Structure 1
Amino acid sequence: MRNTTKITTAVLAAGALTFGLSACGSEKAATGSEDAKAGKPLIVAASPVPHAEILNFVKDKLAKKAGLDLEVKEFTDYVLPNTATEDGSVGANYFQNKPYLDDFNKKNGTHIVPGVTVHLEPLGLYSNKAKKADELKKGATIAVPNDTVNEARALQLLDANGIIELKEGAGNAATPKDIAKNPKALKFKELEAAQLPRSLDDVDAAVINGNYAIEADLKPAEDALVLESADDNPYGNFLAVKEGNENDPRVKKLEKLLTSPEVKKFIEDKYAGSVIPSF
């Protein structure tokens, strides 16, 4: 145990003053940091359709009145928006769902967190060779997304519509190895999600994410042989930020605008059921 040291009132006072100045300095630094953020544009990484279109509607119609300087940066893949958010190249992203984000964070050591959920893009099965799912021939080849979550989601779609049957408990990591029953002996071709629309002439059918289907001028509500249900669907797309930036005032403004009546009407009018508001 240390010997007790006599500390004079003067020393105590000096220490208190130093602490007070330090605390004030920290508060000013934090406030200054927030002010610095507020004075800069919020750059958001997004898939071109429908995410960037929705963000650009906000930018053109709503942001200025709300005092938000918004920039939209388009990405055509599902990896770079998260890595750019993690390294600070962008302030937020808008393109993904929770199961995908959880899997991405786990595999890449990133620290991205979800904000408000904005919409759902139903996953669909499309074909240039069949007009109905039951017209798929025995041994047909089905292209599916090659990332863990969307591949499982594609197989769950086929399972829900009686095309295959998955093993019980296959869940969000299901692969073709988890198929318990495959009456038509379907074969599966794993491709990057963005390539799936271009694969339709080379395969019998493909399960395509809603954003890529719309980009390829497919109309999910009309063209899909089978379409994911919106009821109790965990795959809603949300605005996401790096952990610690959830309370950035610019992010809060954007979240409010993205869930406004104006955005809901824009989504319903423009996408006619191919994209569904989630708020």
Structure 2
Amino acid sequence: MIKNFVLPLTAAAVLVSSVSAYAVEPLRVAADPVPHAEILAYVQKIDPDLNLKVIEIPSGVNSNELLAHGDIDANYFQHRPYLATQEKALGVKFAVAAEVHIEPLGIYSSKYKHYSQLPDKAKVAIPNNETNLSRGLYLLQDQGLITLKPDLKGLATPLDIIGNPKHLKILEIESPQIPRALPDVDLAVINGNFALEAGLDPAKDALGLEKAKGNPYANILVTSQKLAEDPRILRLAKDLESPQVAEFIQQKYHGSVLPVSAAKS
């Protein structure tokens, strides 16, 4: 009788130990260095009891693949339209846990101060992934540089350009490489995080920026379906969407990065 009684207790102890160990395991979050990892570092400061392990992802590493394979618990670097293309490519459905900030896409030049100075057949570097390519083309249109087909359904491509008075040459380049290509082109359409990493100040240096209000490209915290209700994910999501983090973003990035709450106002 004693032996039969001890075994269930031992099994229960192992189970409790396992649950406790799981509860204190660090939440592994992959992030771009700027501004995502910086924002997560601030979260660690205001919520020290949340055990985060922030993994800065180098260029060329797909953290959605890492998430799909269980090598990380969440990532924070992308917007919903890009996530949709990744889910299709990987055959995996992820979960969006929080919407945090917007990095307005910008147009930069190291040669010209105004679009009027652009020569005919000017070279324009633009992100080559389909969502940010479309996003960049719409920004060029908003700045009066090109005209796209009206009533486009789906993402825009260079084939949809119907007006190009300066005969701009669109060069599709990997997003992280565009800041390095800036001296070799006339204009460059650069994602906000890569502009910041390159020492550019989007709010001051960009010739044109995306509008924040109504912008569908909010950067999001993404996790697996399995972890969508994990208490650690829910806590991190609440922190990232908090007024304290919104204030931190506004004070640190001075309009180059905008909290989602500010973009909605």
* TM more than 0.5: yes
Q: Does 1:113 pair with 2:95?
A: yes
**C-alpha displacement of 1:107:** 1.7
Contact 1:124 1:208 in 2 (8 A): yes
Equivalent pair of 1:146/1:193 in contact (CA under 8 Å): yes
Provide closer, same or farther for how the CA distance between residues 171 and 162 of structure 1 changes in structure 2, counting only shifts above 3 A.
farther
Alpha carbons of structure 1 residues 34 and 164: separation in structure 2 relative to 1, 3 Å: farther
SS of structure 1 residue aligned to 2:151: coil
CA-based RMSD: 1.9
What residue is the counterpart of 1:240 in the other structure? 222
Q: Does 1:81 align with 2:63?
A: yes
- Local SS of the residue matching 2:47: helix
The residue identity in structure 2 corresponding to 1:63 is: D
Give the one of 53, 60, 64 matched to 1:71: 53
Describe the shift of the 1:125–1:200 C-alpha distance in structure 2 as closer, same or farther (beyond 3 A).
same
* Closer, same or farther: CA 114–33 of 1 in aligned 2, 3 Å: farther
**Is 2:33 aligned against 1:48?**
yes
**Corresponding residue for 1:21?**
none
- Secondary structure of 2:247's counterpart equals helix
What 5-or-longer segments of structure 1 have no aligned partner?
A: 1-24
- Give the conservation status (yes or no) of the 8 Å contact 2:100–2:218: yes
After the TM superposition, which of the residue ranges 109-118 and 48-57 deviates more from structure 2? 109-118
- From the superposition, tell whether residues 127 and 111 of structure 1 become closer, same or farther in structure 2 (CA, over 3 Å): same
Question: Do the aligned residues in 1 keep the contact of 2:97 with 2:234 (CA within 8 Å)?
Answer: no
Instruction: Indicate whether 1:139 and 2:121 are aligned.
Output: yes
2:46 to 40, 58, 62: 62
Q: TM-score, normalised by structure 2?
A: 0.89
- Residue by residue over 1:23-54, the C-alpha shift from the partner in whole angstroms, topping out at 9 and shown as x without a partner, is xx9xxx8x988655322000100011000010
1:158 maps to amino acid: L
Gaps of 5+ in 2: 1-10
1:115 counterpart SS class: strand
Return closer, same or farther for 1:92/1:34 CA change in 2, 3 Å cut-off. farther
The one-character-per-residue Cα deviations of 1:213-265 (angstroms, maximum 9, x if unpaired) are 00111111111111000011100001000122110110011011111222112
Please tell me whether the aligned partners of residues 98 and 220 of structure 2 are also in contact (alpha carbons under 8 angstroms): yes
Among 219, 228, 252, the residue aligned to 2:234: 252
Is 1:39 aligned to residue 21 of structure 2?
A: no
Q: 1:223 to 1:44 in 2, by over 3 A?
A: same
What is the alpha-carbon distance in structure 2 between the residues aligned to residue 112 and residue 32 of structure 1? 29
The higher radius of gyration belongs to 1
Q: Partner amino acid for 1:263? A: V
